[in-house]
Amino acid sequence: MRAMRIHRYGDPSVIQDDDVPQPEPGPGEVLIRVAATSFNPSDIGVRRGLLQDVLPIELPFTLGGDVAGTVVATGERVFGRVTGAAADYLVAPAATLAAAPATIPLAQAAAIPIAGLTAWQAVFEHAGLQPGQRVLINGAGGGVGGFAVQLAKHAGAYVIATASPRSADVVRNQGADEVVDYTRGPLPGGADAVLNLADVGPAQVAELRAGLRAGGVLVSVTVPVGVHFVARNDPGQLAELAALIDAGVIRVDVSGSRPLTELAAVHRDAEAGRLRGKTILIP
Ligand SMILES: NC(=O)c1ccc[n+]([C@@H]2O[C@H](COP(=O)([O-])OP(=O)(O)OC[C@H]3O[C@@H](n4cnc5c(N)ncnc54)[C@H](OP(=O)(O)O)[C@@H]3O)[C@@H](O)[C@H]2O)c1
C-alpha cells in the first residue's frame, strides 16, 4: 500500500511516496481504509524536525494526523486524531475514534479532528464562553478558526473575528457578528475572551491583550501567552462535533481536496501562504 513518509527532516522534498506492507491491527486496534486525511500546519513542524519535544516520532514516519475512513472488519465510518493517516490504510486504537458525521461525505470528516478539537477545547474548556459574552477570535480564517467561530456562536457569544480579505466572507458566513481585517486594524476592545489562533509576534500579542476587558482571558494555541494549550484527543468531543454537524448547527468548510500523492506540493503551498481553510488529501 501507499504511505507518504519522511525518512529524514527537511524541506517538502523529504516527503516520499513509499510502497509499504499493510499494517495489521493488534489487540484493541482496528484497520482503517483511509477515505482522507487533512493537512495541518503542525505537519510542517514535524517534517522539519522542529516538534521533537512535543511530538516525538521515529523515522521513517508516515504523515497525517487526521483520518476519516472505514473500519475494514465492520464497515463502520469513523474519524479521529491519529498518526500515519497519509496512507491507503492505517491501524489505530478503536477507543480513540468516533463515528463520522452521517450527513457529509466521509472524506470531509478528515477536516475535523485536530482543528475541531482545538477549537472545542479553546471555546469550552479554556475560554469557557457563556451566552452574551464578547469574544475576539484572531486567525478566524484558518482551519481551527472555522470551527471556533461556529462553536463560539453556538455557545451564545458575540463573535468578533479577524480575517484578511481572502477569508472575510467565509468567516462572516460562519456566523461572525463582526469581521475586522487584521492587516489594517485596529482591533475593537472590551472582549471577555480573546482566542488567538494565529502565529503572531509580540506587537500583535500586545494588541490582543489591549482588546480584553479587565479580568478577560487570553487563550492561545500558538505563541505561549495567556492560557496556552496543546489540544488532546477526545473521542467524546469528536462525537459531539459530529452530532452538531448532523444537526446542521455547524458546518465543515473544506476549501481544497487534493490527491494524497500531492502532499509535498500541499506543504509547499502552505509554506508559501497559498492554502486557506482546510485541505483534505485523498489516497
Ligand atoms: N495548540 C494546539 O494544539 C494547536 C492545534 C492546532 C493548530 N495549532 C496552531 O494554530 C494555528 C492555526 O492553525 P490552523 O490549522 O487554523 O492554521 P491555518 O489554517 O493555516 O490558519 C491560520 C490563519 O491565521 C490567519 N493569520 C495569519 N497571520 C495572521 C495574523 N498576523 N493575524 C491574524 N490572523 C492571521 C490567516 O487568516 P486569513 O486567511 O484571514 O489571512 C490564516 O488563515 C497554527 O499555528 C497551528 O500550528 C495549534
Structural domain boundaries in the chain: 2-112+252-282, 116-228
pTM of the predicted protein model: 0.98
Run of H or E including 282: strand 278-282
Residue nearest to atom 5 of ligand 1 (CA): 118
Predicted confidence at residue 54, as pLDDT, reads 82
Predicted confidence at residue 36, as pLDDT, reads 99
What string of pLDDT tens digits covers the 283 residues of the chain?
A: 999 999 999 999 999 999 999 999 999 999 999 999 999 999 999 999 998 888 889 999 999 999 999 999 999 999 999 999 999 999 999 999 999 999 999 999 999 999 999 999 999 999 999 999 999 999 999 999 999 999 999 999 999 999 999 999 999 999 999 999 999 978 999 999 999 999 999 999 999 999 999 999 999 999 999 999 999 999 999 999 999 999 999 999 999 999 999 999 999 999 999 999 999 999 9
Q: Is the CB of 146 inside a 6 Å radius of any atom of ligand 1?
A: no
Residue 131 alpha carbon to ligand 1 centre in Å: 25
Residue nearest to atom 31 of ligand 1 (CA): 200
Residue 172 alpha carbon to ligand 1 centre in Å: 17
Ligand 1: residue of 47, 123, 164 to mutate (most ligand atoms within 8 A of CB) is: 164
Predicted confidence at residue 37, as pLDDT, reads 99
Predicted confidence at residue 55, as pLDDT, reads 82
Residue 82 alpha carbon to ligand 1 centre in Å: 20
Phi, psi torsion values for 256, nearest 5 degrees: -155, 145
| Strand, coil or helix: 122 | helix
Residue 207 alpha carbon to ligand 1 centre in Å: 17
CATH topology of domain 2-112+252-282: Quinone Oxidoreductase; Chain A, domain 1 (3.90.180)
Q: Is the CB of 164 inside a 6 Å radius of any atom of ligand 1?
A: yes
Residue 145 CA, closest ligand 1 atom number = 16
Residue 4 alpha carbon to ligand 1 centre in Å: 24
Retrieve residue 27's grid coordinates.
489487540
Calculate ∠ Cα 202-205-209, nearest 5°: 140
Predicted confidence at residue 250, as pLDDT, reads 98
Q: Is the CB of 141 inside a 6 Å radius of any atom of ligand 1?
A: yes
Residue 228 CA, closest ligand 1 atom number = 1
CATH number of 116-228: 3.40.50.720
Ligand 1: residue of 144, 179, 208, 219 to mutate (most ligand atoms within 8 A of CB) is: 144
Residue nearest to atom 29 of ligand 1 (CA): 198
Residue 229 CA, closest ligand 1 atom number = 1
Residue nearest to atom 41 of ligand 1 (CA): 164
Retrieve residue 178's grid coordinates.
463582526
Residue 198 alpha carbon to ligand 1 centre in Å: 4
Residue 13 alpha carbon to ligand 1 centre in Å: 24
> Are 2-112+252-282 and 116-228 in the same CATH fold?
no
Residue 175 alpha carbon to ligand 1 centre in Å: 18
Contacts of 3 (CB under 8 A, 6+ apart): 18, 19, 20, 62, 84, 86, 87, 88
Beta strand residue intervals within 122-226, DSSP E: 134-138, 158-162, 178-180, 191-196, 212-220
